[in-house]
Amino acid sequence: MRQKTSRSTIKEVALAAGVSTQTVSRVINERPDVSPETRKRVQEVIDQLAYRPSAVARSLIRQRSHTLGVVTAGLKYIGPSRILSGIASAVEEAGYSLLLKELSDFDTKEIEPIFEAFISRHVDGIIWAVPEVGDNRTWVKEASLDVEIPLVYLTMQAQENISVVSVDNYLGGKMAVSHLLEQGFKHIGHISGPLDWWEARQRMTAWKDVLNENGIKVKDEHSVEGDWSLSSGIEATKKLLNQYPDVDAIFVANDQMALSAIQYLRQNGRRVPEDIGIVGFDDIPESEFFFPPLTTIQQDQNTVAKLAVEDIIKTIESGWHKLEPKEPQTIIVPPTLVVRQSSLHLRGIHEKEVEIK
Amino acid sequence: MRQKTSRSTIKEVALAAGVSTQTVSRVINERPDVSPETRKRVQEVIDQLAYRPSAVARSLIRQRSHTLGVVTAGLKYIGPSRILSGIASAVEEAGYSLLLKELSDFDTKEIEPIFEAFISRHVDGIIWAVPEVGDNRTWVKEASLDVEIPLVYLTMQAQENISVVSVDNYLGGKMAVSHLLEQGFKHIGHISGPLDWWEARQRMTAWKDVLNENGIKVKDEHSVEGDWSLSSGIEATKKLLNQYPDVDAIFVANDQMALSAIQYLRQNGRRVPEDIGIVGFDDIPESEFFFPPLTTIQQDQNTVAKLAVEDIIKTIESGWHKLEPKEPQTIIVPPTLVVRQSSLHLRGIHEKEVEIK
DNA sequence: CTGAAAGCGCTAACAC
DNA sequence: GTGTTAGCGCTTTCAG
């Protein structure tokens, strides 16, 4: 028969089992110093009353909530939700709960109240999984100064006194552009993300650096700024073709823009990869099934999430107190180049000849 | 100067302000019965010490946590994350916090521990935002029987004694197929989602019903089951063309499969929409920029999320107790047909002639 | 208007 | 082994 009245307390269990609350506490915490018979009797009562210890009361007395605060932004995009998914399962696995806050705007100033809510709920640690846009990093750093709680940042520029876990965007950019060069492309343009995003700047800098290292002059009109969206991919491509007519390959800062770029190019009589090679960034599910399939840089966001959770929990469980300065960790995860058809120039040339015949 | 020691308590504030903790409590709760001078003095101390009342202690004494438990699954897909995003902002707006659990598997049996964790943390209500797959609904219903907490289900079959907020999948399916008929298509096939999903069955049933109502015989080989993924869209299309050679239009149960279907058709020399019309379901961002742009059914998941949150908070704040049987709410949100090029047969015929000339 | 006392559900520290 | 006492940080009586 089910217990349908309100949640039962340790007192009620104690009463029903004829022991003190302390003994019940010992049983539910699996302490050794309880006689087998007592334990059994208490356990039976617990099962019968469907008693569940109150995590709230425990948090109060233990000054530990076994809860992590997680801040995200842009959940409607695929990247942030994949990260959150990774965080959620890692947190779960570690036996913690997850208190979620979503920032409605990337560079919002509602950072204070978020920290306050977390503190007031006694979270044991905070994971800041908001992309670095504009100077939101500065605000967070500011706001986090009087937070005496372990804090890890995701996808943010590594810096002193701050623990960061991130994919190596710069390396990814280098891999993409080097690959295009190896394929024999000579005039490699770039469609960047919004340049107030740190990730976008990293990818763009990598593009410039690789070209420079290979003795290729980079001019301003060789790149166009997009905003990550499909529609901006079309606009940017149009503009780039215009201001850089010689372009024979484009490193596009994310897959969505790359996909719409390909679409636009094909509709305008440019073949991919024969006329123009394309490399994207992210490896979204669509990329593999596009025509032509998109060469791209794969970010292992699951690993990033796991590492961040592991790191913060290690800090928590080591009993770190803000008083001692902590040694911040910087973990950079390398991305992977996934080669598909959209960038295969060498082979593309042959296909071209065959088709033309 | 910043306060760098550990969190301050109401006691410390009281001491520093020379009043009792009770008075401090009155100030932070904005009770009227405090003299202006006292209030001011206390407020100053609060600001100076950066005092934040402990939500944990409050939850304990008030037996209300101002926290909602939310369960999702499949966060790596775009649909669930959009819903979660809507939930998160609605919850925030209502002044609640959000405790998140992700089910690793749609038909997992780890439901019990999730409820237990929520109960133990004294959540005021639970939002079950996991798609109905297989008989997971039954398990949840089972597990929720002894949960004396307001509970709302998202995207689930409406039923007795359960509050449900959902998009009208059946209506969406009808809109899609009716639209294709109006466009003059005669042989409308269907690529469904996995049929252990309730949503997939709803959409499929609608397809059948509309055809039947219009005197069209539906045979088994007129539909193929996919699994929502891009790759399954290709497989399913191949199979459908094979077993239903006359097919001149396809209602595809989600946009991802629709996109890869279009891709496959075009690569195999079938023009969309001239030879085959396509309608999808979901309206993902890509659909608008595809070639041809995809006609689809738009689900307003944000509205669904908002309604669910509003409903549960209303129940909570009405002081509902499980003892009284509650009158469950069923809210069905209608979807919208978004017409783009992929389904325009009437116009398509003219274009065809023009092109051929 | 303000304070003292009691207690939310649990556990730590000590007694027995 | 088990019970008693005290108290986590706050709010709710109820006096004054």
Read off the tokens for B199. Answer: 């949503």
* B82–A97 CB contact, under 8 Å: no
Identify whether A309 is part of a domain.
yes
pLDDT level of residue B350 (50, 70, 90 thresholds)? very low
Name the nucleotide nearest B22; use CA and C1'.
C3
Read off the tokens for B345. Answer: 């047969």
Same domain, B238 and B341: yes
- B59 CB inside 7 Å of strand D: no
**How many other C-beta atoms are found inside a 10 Å radius of the C-beta of residue B189?**
25
pLDDT level of residue B325 (50, 70, 90 thresholds)? low
**Ranges of chain A whose pLDDT falls below 50:** 1-5, 323, 348-357
Q: How far apart are CA A132 and CA A126, in angstroms?
A: 16
Identify whether A5 is part of a domain.
no
- A50 CB inside 7 Å of strand C: no
Same domain, A116 and A145: yes
Residues B345-349 have a mean pLDDT of 61
Query: Is the CB of A231 inside 8 Å of chain B's CB atoms?
Result: yes
- pLDDT tens sequence across B261-277: 999 999 999 999 999 99
Closest-CA residue to B211 (of B184, B186, B233, B236): B186
pTM, entire model: 0.92
Amino acid identity, residue B237? T
Same domain, A261 and A315: no
- B323 CB inside 7 Å of strand D: no
∠ CA A70-B65-B89, nearest 5°, is 45
Q: How far apart are CA A124 and CA B56, in angstroms?
A: 13
Q: Which residue of A has its CA nearest to B74?
A: A85
CA of A151 and C1' of C12: distance in angstroms? 29
Q: How far apart are CA B185 and CA A12, in angstroms?
A: 69
Same domain, B274 and B152: no
Helix (H) or strand (E) run with residue A136 in it: helix A136-144
Q: Which residue of B has its CA nearest to A59?
A: B56
* B60–A55 CB contact, under 8 Å: no
Q: How far apart are CA B195 and CA B169, in angstroms?
A: 14
CA distance B184 to chain A (A): 27
Q: What is the pLDDT of residue B221?
A: 97
Task: Write the CATH number for B271.
Answer: 3.40.50.2300
Nearest CB neighbour to A76, from listed B57, B70, B82? B82
Amino acid identity, residue A270? R
Read off the tokens for A135. Answer: 């100077």
Higher pLDDT, B324 or A305: A305
CA distance A36 to chain B (A): 26
Closest-CA residue to B184 (of B350, B334, B298): B350
Query: Is the CB of A44 inside 8 Å of chain B's CB atoms?
Result: no
Q: How far apart are CA A227 and CA A243, in angstroms?
A: 19
The structure tokens 């201001």 sit at A243
Query: Is the CB of B325 inside 8 Å of chain A's CB atoms?
Result: no
Question: What are the backbone angles phi and psi of residue B117, rounded to the nearest 5°?
Answer: -60, -40
Domain range for residue A48? 10-53
- A61 CB inside 7 Å of strand D: yes
Same domain, A109 and A250: no
* A260–B75 CB contact, under 8 Å: no
CA distance A218 to chain B (A): 30
Q: Is residue A206 a contact partner of residue A174, using CB atoms and an 8 Å limit?
A: yes
Same domain, B26 and B130: no
Question: What are the backbone angles phi and psi of residue B153, rounded to the nearest 5°?
Answer: -105, 140
CA of A20 and C1' of D4: distance in angstroms? 9
Q: How far apart are CA B210 and CA B227, in angstroms?
A: 23
> What are the CA-CA distances from residue B310 to residues B35, B72, B92, B317, B327 (Å)?
37, 18, 11, 10, 16
Q: What is the pLDDT of residue B110?
A: 83
Name the nucleotide nearest A58; use CA and C1'.
C10
CA of A247 and C1' of C4: distance in angstroms? 82
- pLDDT tens sequence across A92-138: 999 999 999 999 887 777 888 999 999 999 999 999 999 999 888 88
- pLDDT tens sequence across B96-116: 999 999 998 887 778 889 999
- B26 CB inside 7 Å of strand C: yes
Identify whether B103 is part of a domain.
yes
Identify whether A60 is part of a domain.
no
Same domain, A325 and A177: no
Same domain, B154 and B288: no
Same domain, B155 and B21: no
Query: What rounded mean pLDDT belongs to chain B?
Result: 90
Same domain, A153 and A178: no
Please report residues of A whose CB lies closer than 8 A to that of B122.
54-56
Chain D: bases < 7 Å from a protein Cβ: 1-5, 7-13
Residues B256-263 have a mean pLDDT of 95
Q: How far apart are CA A236 and CA A172, in angstroms?
A: 21
- pLDDT tens sequence across B228-253: 999 999 999 999 999 999 999 999 99
Q: Is residue A190 a contact partner of residue A250, using CB atoms and an 8 Å limit?
A: yes
Domain total in chain B: 3
Same domain, B34 and B143: no
- pLDDT tens sequence across B146-188: 778 999 999 888 877 788 999 999 999 999 999 999 999 999 9
- A22 CB inside 7 Å of strand C: yes
CA of A110 and C1' of C3: distance in angstroms? 37
Report the largest interatomic distance among the alpha carbons of chain A, rounded to a whole angstrom. Answer: 94
Q: How far apart are CA A29 and CA A9, in angstroms?
A: 15
- pLDDT tens sequence across B54-76: 999 999 999 999 999 999 998 98
- Any residues with CB less than 8 A from the CB of B286 and at least 6 apart, and which? A230, A256, A259, A286, B255, B259
Residues B297-317 have a mean pLDDT of 94
> What are the CA-CA distances from residue A263 to residues A256, A269, A319, A345 (Å)?
11, 10, 54, 18
- B21 CB inside 7 Å of strand C: yes
Please report residues of A whose CB lies closer than 8 A to that of B267.
291
Identify whether B176 is part of a domain.
yes
Same domain, A70 and A186: no
Name the nucleotide nearest A120; use CA and C1'.
D9
Q: How far apart are CA A103 and CA A101, in angstroms?
A: 6
In angstroms, how far is CA A43 from the centroid of its own chain? Answer: 42
Please report residues of B whose CB lies closer than 8 A to that of A104.
89, 92
Identify whether B206 is part of a domain.
yes
* B122–A54 CB contact, under 8 Å: yes
Q: What is the pLDDT of residue B352?
A: 42
* B100–A88 CB contact, under 8 Å: yes
- B55 CB inside 7 Å of strand D: no
Task: Write the CATH number for A24.
Answer: 1.10.260.40
Report the largest interatomic distance among the alpha carbons of chain B, rounded to a whole angstrom. Answer: 94
Q: What is the pLDDT of residue B2?
A: 38
Q: pLDDT over 90 for what percent of chain B? A: 76
- Any residues with CB less than 8 A from the CB of A166 and at least 6 apart, and which? A154, A155, A156, A158, A304, A331, A332, A333
